[in-house]
Structure 1
Amino acid sequence: MSRYTGWFVLDAKARNLLPMLAETLRGCDLNVVYRSEDYLMAREVPGAVPLSRFSRLVTAEILVERYPNQQVRLQVVAKNEELPLHQRNHCQQMFEKISAAISNNQNWELLNLVAS
């Protein structure tokens, strides 16, 4: 199973952060399948990978922690059932796409990023 994790610290003054995060994920070809006050789960749209490679479909999870000083910490996890046999596998590419979309979003300021 492939799994990539990143932590983002944002200066986010917007009250509607979760809808903006959901829109960011949709821009990465992911459909939001579950949303609560501090959590989003999205799955890759079928058709992005061949049907014979269904194990490559990526699920992304975002856990949101809000702090009193308008900072927000996001823990982002991208995972799929594919074994990471290649250095540049599909899950890693999707994680990088999601990370770039969050990092370059105009609705907040990125203060810190740690990816593993």
Structure 2
Amino acid sequence: MARYTSSYTVGLPFPRMGELVVEVLKSCPLEITYNTGEYIMARETPGKVSFSKLASVEILIDRTTSTEKETKMTLVVKNEELPLQLDNHCYQMFQLVSQALVGYRSWQIIEPVAG
């Protein structure tokens, strides 16, 4: 199973994060399958790659350490594909979502940490 993670500190308070993360994920394009406001799960829609390569994306927004100026979140992208190549489909999706999060216009990434 391929799995890639990274963490970010975003220059926004917690209450705004959930809706903005959903907006970013939809732009990737991913389908939101679960959303509690603190935990958001999305997946690729079938049709472009085999089922084992379909990536799922999880974002955990850390409410417990959130302040008025910043919030931490963790990104996990995974699929059932064996990561036999460095540039596999899961890694490509990880790069796509990571770049979308870092480049999003409605917030400022204070501290990205690759995992």
Question: What is the Cα deviation at residue 43 of structure 1?
Answer: 0.6
Give the direction of change, closer, same or farther, for the CA distance of 1:80–1:73 in structure 2 (3 Å limit).
same
Answer whether contact 1:13 1:108 (CA < 8 A) is retained: no
1:108 paired to 2:107: yes
Secondary structure, counterpart of 2:101 in structure 1:
helix
Higher mean C-alpha displacement, 73-82 vs 39-48? 39-48
Where structure 2 has 5 or more consecutive residues not aligned to the other structure, the ranges are none
Q: Which has the higher strand share?
A: 1
Secondary structure, counterpart of 2:57 in structure 1:
strand
1:94 paired to 2:93: yes
Map 1:1-116 → 2, pairs under 5 A = 1-13=1-13, 15-49=15-49, 53-66=50-63, 67-116=66-115
Secondary structure, counterpart of 2:90 in structure 1:
helix
For the residues of structure 2 that align with 1:14 and 1:40, how far apart are their CA atoms?
14
For the residues of structure 1 that align with 2:92 and 2:5, how far apart are their CA atoms?
13
The letter for the 2-side match of 1:86 is Q
Secondary structure, counterpart of 1:112 in structure 2:
strand
For the residues of structure 1 that align with 2:70 and 2:16, how far apart are their CA atoms?
14
Answer whether contact 1:34 1:40 (CA < 8 A) is retained: yes
Q: Cα RMSD (Å) of the superposition? A: 1.3
Question: What is the Cα deviation at residue 48 of structure 1?
Answer: 2.6
Secondary structure, counterpart of 2:97 in structure 1:
helix
Secondary structure, counterpart of 2:31 in structure 1:
strand
Higher mean C-alpha displacement, 32-41 vs 17-26? 17-26
State how many pairs are aligned.
113
Secondary structure, counterpart of 1:16 in structure 2:
helix
The TM-score normalised by the length of structure 2 is 0.92
Identity of aligned residues (%): 38
For the residues of structure 2 that align with 1:68 and 1:12, how far apart are their CA atoms?
8
- Residue by residue over 1:14-52, the C-alpha shift from the partner in whole angstroms, topping out at 9 and shown as x without a partner, is 843212111111111210000002110001111231xxx
Answer whether contact 1:12 1:107 (CA < 8 A) is retained: no
